[in-house]
Amino acid sequence: MIARIIGRLEQVADGVALISTAAGLWYEVLVPAFDADRLGKRIAQEVSLYTIHYVEGDPSHGAQTPRLLGFLSEIDRRFFRVFTTVKGIGIRKALRALVRPVAEVAAAIQNKDARFLVDLPEIGKRTAEQIIHELHEKMEDFAGAPAAGAAETQLAEPALEAVAVLV
């Protein structure tokens, strides 16, 4: 299983990050909408993503494709695993829905804020209620978590470039 990938971010488009590794391999990594926006600012820089490896497709039709999901932090990856346990929330739906930081989504679930959840793409009223029903007691670890890369966003662009050179 691939648990983490480190490499140069070549491009981000349509929820897919293209990572070039030192071994000469290029990986397509599906990323949540929130991480895609943040990664878009890091093109040509080294990135580290915590990954989930899964197989997409129907084995009865012989069409299966291995996929990698990537997250900027371990806590985001753990949240995603919990989030996708909800009936009706599949991997692709969850990736598109997560346009807000994990801590905000988790706090909304913990506080039973269905209005916040309904504002997320792919989440309707019934799905929001299902998420709250199944997860509101499981959000303590995620609701107060700092956003991945929060410290980076406080640095000015020249400082980010200096860090990239040092790395």
Residue 161 has pLDDT above 80, yes or no: no
> Could you report the per-residue pLDDT of 100-121, keeping only the tens digit for each?
999 999 999 999 999 999 999 9
> Could you report the per-residue pLDDT of 81-97, keeping only the tens digit for each?
999 999 999 999 999 99
Torsion region of 89: left, alpha or beta (phi above 0 gives left; psi -120 to 50 gives alpha): beta
Amino acid 163: pLDDT: 60
Amino acid 150: pLDDT: 46
> Under DSSP, is residue 68 helix (H, G, I), strand (E, B) or coil?
strand
Amino acid 23: pLDDT: 85
Residue 149 has pLDDT above 70, yes or no: no
Q: What is the DSSP letter of 94?
A: H
Confidence at 152, pLDDT banded by 50, 70, 90? very low
Amino acid 153: pLDDT: 43
Separation of alpha carbons 102 and 167, rounded Å: 27
